[in-house]
Chain A
Amino acid sequence: MTELNYTIKDFKSENEVRWCPGCGDYAIMNAVQRTMADMNVPQEQFAVISGIGCSSRFPYYMSTFGFHSIHGRATAIASGVKCANPDLNVWVITGDGDSMAIGGNHFIHLVRRNIDLNVILFNNKIYGLTKGQYSPTTDRGFITKTSPFGTVEDPFVPGQLVLGSGGSFFARAVDSNVKHNQQVFAEAAKHKGTSIVEVLQNCVIFNDGIHEQIADPKHRAERQLFLEHGKPMIFGKENEKGLVLECGRLKVVTIGENGVTQDDILVHDAKQVDLSIHMQLIQMSLPEFPIAMGVIRAVEAPVYDEELVKQVEEVTANRKVNSMDELLCSGNTWEVNEPNSSEPVPFFKKKCPIS
């Protein structure tokens, strides 16, 4: 294959980017554009589909084919795009309101079907475009304009929803960590099936600092566990901490203490079909645990669009009906040729003269 040698510029559109200064979306888009440039896929093969929300303006800022659709439906529309043309490289840009609230149904069914789409879920735990209402990922008790006394409901954890829907790929990243985003997006793009990447994104206006406890680079080493398939689950400033499995539960240990050695640390297996460890990784929260970052799950599973194409090919190969003319005349038919029967006149000449 010839090298296409794209740069990030090849994926930027002429449209002025209009997110708020300091918005986490800029960094995410930057990472997406870099990822695409590195993929060596002809630029016209990319389609970027979004719903409604701040992040969903994304397609306008890309020079690829793009479709800015309606609230919650990007996953459904992208499913149609990919099924119609499985050769395309289809990305979905969505937010926590778009995909977890109004589009929740399409989201879980996309994951269940495992259509080969790359979904980037911008999770800022707030409705930004409508100016600051709580979302399905807002923490219990959080005060917003529509919850002046605090919410009385629990949030969705996107990863739980993905695993609960039979998801084959789930990853997590922080908006400002462009390099890590890029790695994760590249893995998502490589994965066959629905790839869900939750990016913890900062809304600088309506929910500033919501992920700061996790995202702050000062605490990154202590509070984020960067998972890599086949590598031990180690974190900490000195790489001194790790996760072990005790009675089936994850536990943070310090290497060198209580006889724990590096060999005792759990090795990440993203390809493990069993959900239990992946689920525990997704559910880890501060302060007891670090937050799991990177590709948590990437298992092989039948891919809807591939299966669809395969089925069409198989059925077509053994077909008895090859064309519309044959289909129309298949089954029970009879001839009319009576002395008083008239010559047939095509419908579109008779009742409905359309050229």
Chain B
Amino acid sequence: MKDTKVIELEEVSIRFSGDSGDGMQLTGTLFSDATALFGNDISTFPDYPSEIRAPQGTVGGVSGFQVQFGHKEVNTPGDDAHVLIAMNPAAVKANARFIRPGGTIIYDVDSFSQKNLDKAKFSTQDPFAELNLEDYEKIPVPITSLTRESLKDFGMDNKSVLRSKNMFALGFICWMFGRPMDYIENFIKTKFAKKPVVVESNLKVLHSGYNYGMNMQHMTPRYLVDAAAIEKGTYRNINGNQATAWGFLAAAEKAGRNLFLGSYPITPATDVLTALAARRDLGVKTFQAEDEIAGICTAIGAAFAGDLAVTSTSGPGLALKSEALGLSVMAELPLVVVNVQRGGPSTGLPTKTEQSDLLQTLYGRNGESPVVVIAASTPSDCFYYAYLACKIALERMVPVVLLTDGFLGNGSEPWRIPAMSELPEIKPRIAKDSSSFKAYKRDAETLAREWAFPGMAGFQHRIGGLEKNVEGAVSHDPENHQENCAIREEKVQKVVGMLPELEVFGDEDGGDVLVVSWGGTYGHTVSAVRELRKDGKNVSLAHFNFIKPLPANTREVFSKYKKIVVCELNLGQFVAYLRDRVPGFEYHQVNKLKGLPFTVTELKENIEKLLED
């Protein structure tokens, strides 16, 4: 089974480490060989202690094996490891300096006993803090106890059982990086041909480790690759959900409003709530509601009261929020909804990624209920699109839905940290003149109404879900309703004036094929287009971050290409929208619904087919 979540890795390095008796060299070698056979270029670096049997559990006794592999030429074993596998505390200590900032540490949590901490000479109960590894991704795995559990029917002695721990770690890593295990299985079968019990037990533990990884995959980080020549600056690793949360925080600070998040836990969006709940220090009010509906309703209440109000969710939660989202359309309050999309329908594939909530987001409400829809394209740019969603909501008094997905939300990448001064101003439309204030009086240009909240003397007014006239009084007047429906739609369309034009990666003046994608598939579509262009193919990419309204030059861009192919992780939702909004073109489609991102290979194959036709 190949896990396509990591297919985009250009290069990754892994360091296996443990006691010299833990079999780390064998583990590392087996993994490297399996990887080489899998078709990757590799480079390895065994690093073992000079003593064959240094005292168990001590730093001096740590044995390591580092391998770097990638689908391009790999010339070094990598300066720092992306992933460290540590079988005991000493291994963490010995290798702390070899891990990339923000890297991942998978460790045998069972071995972190007081005895082993002492042996490794840790002075506190928190070895990671002692080594300044707080912000590293740490995955505790009960390797010893799970190995023991896995072998309980084999009647083996304790020592032999513990000797199999490395196979558990190996199985886990094979899952994590999508390595096929047949090479390893064959090796074990051949090497221990005369000891059937050893073969059986090792295979059993190997598969237990693999299956554990599969079952716990929501914990597993994914790596995207840094661009080759990167900008100067200070960098950090960030995942999409954290970036989204921080984008909201940045917008609140810039706009001078308090941030309120009403939310209900849901995979894979929960980490947005978690990240903001941690930020009471910056005055954030997170409200863990009794359900999705209360999540958005408390946010609407907070928006009415003058906060920058946000609610976070995933597909099924958006369905529950739809009536209240319609209320925010009618009440014309600034509200941001982030939908970290997952596989649907219904409960679907909660931990998997998909783009199948687009039509729900655009149309899934009663009545004519337009909202602004934008989508982030990489884990780190979730920060900017979250920020922008808030800017649009606050300046245009309109609900904005930000679409990310499980792949972006859980995926992480290195990110150049921006200074707050790099971000554009946010000017909420707070009412200033009470004598001229009317609840639904609009700016002539943008059609946005003004924001006045309880506590502002002289601005008392009523809003609600019923159709209103300009004063905010209930109106059943037919002409008024038709006019307001048009205005609410027009107000959303006017947001286009705040947005950049659609950019083309490739031949801006036109060509054979234009690949169209949106949201979280960017990394894969841009890689596919880049590789095809290297092969001399006339292919360009137009990637959409703005769905509603569409960029002003969309039609103009489309008209320059002979063929347009829309690639998305659903059965054709964006393409349906384009056929409606930008008619007159023949749109080809590449669709995938496996709960997995595209692979570059399958994209290339599909596009090449189109070039040949």
Q: Among residues 299 to 355 in chain A, which have CB atoms less than 8 Å away from a CB atom of chain B?
A: 308, 311-312, 315-316, 318-321, 323-325, 327-329, 331-338, 340-348, 351-355
Set of chain B residues within 8 Å of A49, measured between Cβ atoms: 301
* Contact between B455 and A45, CB atoms less than 8 A apart: yes
Could you list 22 A-B pairs, sorted by A, with CB under 8 Å? Answer: A46-B454, A47-B304, A68-B462, A68-B465, A68-B466, A69-B297, A73-B324, A76-B301, A79-B287, A84-B309, A109-B289, A109-B290, A312-B285, A321-B282, A324-B420, A327-B279, A331-B236, A333-B236, A336-B233, A343-B231, A346-B418, A355-B424
A105 touches B500 (CB 8 A): no
Check if A13 sits within 8 Å of B293, measured CB to CB. Answer: no
Say whether B232 contacts A84, CB under 8 Å. Answer: no
Q: Which candidate, B53-61, B106-114, B246-254, B341-349, is the interface stretch facing chain A?
A: B246-254
Residues on A facing B (Cβ under 8 Å): 13, 15, 42-47, 49, 52, 59-60, 62-70, 73, 76-85, 87-88, 105-106, 109, 308, 311-312, 315-316, 318-321, 323-325, 327-329, 331-338, 340-348, 351-355
Instruction: Check if A352 sits within 8 Å of B384, measured CB to CB.
Output: yes
Chain B residues positioned under 8 Å from A340 (CB to CB): 229
Residue of B nearest to A62 (CB): B462
- Bound CA span A87–B456, Å: 12
Main SS of chain A's interface residues? mixed
Chain A contacts for B388, CB-based, 8 A: 348, 352, 354
Bound-state Cα–Cα, A67 to B384, Å? 32
New contact pairs (18) apart from A67-B301, A347-B381, CB-CB < 8 Å: A44-B460, A68-B462, A70-B324, A80-B305, A83-B260, A84-B258, A84-B260, A85-B455, A105-B294, A106-B294, A321-B281, A324-B250, A328-B236, A332-B101, A335-B233, A335-B235, A343-B232, A344-B232
Is A64's CB under 8 angstroms from B262's CB?
Answer: no
Choose among B234, B285, B474, B500 the residue that contacts A84 (Cβ–Cβ < 8 A).
B285
Asked whether B459 lies within 8 Å of A333 as measured between CB atoms, the reply is: no
User: How would residues 414 to 428 of chain B score, 1 for a CB under 8 Å from any chain A CB and 0 otherwise?
Assistant: 001111101110000
Beyond A13-B462, A324-B250, is A311–B290 a contact (Cβ under 8 Å)? no
Interface residues of B in 430-464 (CB under 8 A from A): 453-464
For B309, give its contact among A80, A106, A318, A353 (CB under 8 Å): A80
Compute how far the CA of A73 lies from the CA of B422 in the bound complex, rounded to whole angstroms. 39
Query: Which chain B residues border A325 with CB–CB below 8 Å?
Result: 419-420
In the complex, which residues of chain A have a beta carbon less than 8 angstroms from the beta carbon of B596?
none
B residues near A88, Cβ cutoff 8 Å: 305, 454-455
Residues in A neighbouring B294, C-beta threshold 8 A: 73, 76, 79, 105-106, 109
Distance A199 CA – B279 CA, assembled complex (angstroms): 41
Contact of A327 among B246, B291, B305, B454 (CB under 8 A): B246
Complex CA gap A78/B287 in Å reads: 13
Beta-carbon contact of B454 and A44 below 8 Å: yes
**Chain B: residues with CB nearer than 8 A to chain A?**
101-102, 132, 134-136, 229-237, 246, 249-250, 253, 258, 260, 262, 279-283, 285, 287, 289-291, 293-294, 297-307, 309, 323-324, 327, 331, 381, 384, 388, 391, 416-420, 422-424, 453-466, 473-474, 498-500, 503, 545
Contact B545 A315 (CB under 8 A): no
Candidates B132, B279, B422; contact of A348 at CB < 8 Å: B422
Determine how close the nearest CB of chain A comes to the CB of B423; give it in whole angstroms. 7
Question: Which 3 residue pairs across A and B have the least CB separation, nearest first?
Answer: A80-B301, A68-B464, A80-B298
Q: Within the assembled complex, what's the spacing in Å between the Cα atoms of A63 and B101?
A: 58
Q: How far in angstroms is the closest Cβ of chain B from A284?
A: 30
Among A69, A81, A338, A347, point to the contact of B422 (Cβ < 8 A): A347
B305 touches A84 (CB 8 A): yes
**Which residue on B lies nearest to A325, using beta carbons?**
B420
Contact with B234, one of A80, A333, A346 (Cβ below 8 angstroms): A333
On chain A, the residues within 8 Å of B282 by CB distance are 316, 319, 321, 323-324, 327
Determine how close the nearest CB of chain B comes to the CB of A102; give it in whole angstroms: 10
B297 / chain A contacts, CB cutoff of 8 Å: 69, 73, 76-77, 79-80, 106
In angstroms, Cα B302 to Cα A78, docked, is 8
Report yes or no: B281 in contact with A65, Cβ–Cβ below 8 A.
Answer: no
A327 to B230, CA, bound (A): 23
Q: Which residue of B lies closest to A345 (CB)?
A: B231
Contact of B298 among A66, A79, A335 (CB under 8 A): A79
